[in-house]
Amino acid sequence: MTKSKENEKLAGKFFEVEDYGRDNQLSSGLATTHEQASDNYMEGTVDGMMEENVHSSEKMPKKHK
């Protein structure tokens, strides 16, 4: 396989649940990135604020229970 074809194959790779169990650098990187993105999505922002309106830069505090 030529270098160009190999690069195209790698560029088209998407995360799969099986990547958590695979033992290669690409799958490990995809699994780590997926975990980080999922954590960030579930936790929100670092400053603990939530956006009230996506079209505005104003923020509102999180509701505490």
**Range 7-11 average pLDDT:** 80
Residues 8, 39, 62: CA angle, nearest 5 degrees: 135
35's CB contacts (< 8 A; 6+ apart) are none
- Res 10 pLDDT > 60: yes
**Range 2-22 average pLDDT:** 86
Full-model pTM? 0.55
Quick one: CA dihedral 9, 13, 16, 21, positive or negative? positive
More confident residue, 37 or 54: 37
Hey, what are 21's tokens? 């169990």
Q: Give pLDDT tens digits for 31-52.
A: 999 998 888 777 766 666 655 5
61's CB contacts (< 8 A; 6+ apart) are 48, 49, 50
Q: What percent of the chain has pLDDT over 70?
A: 66
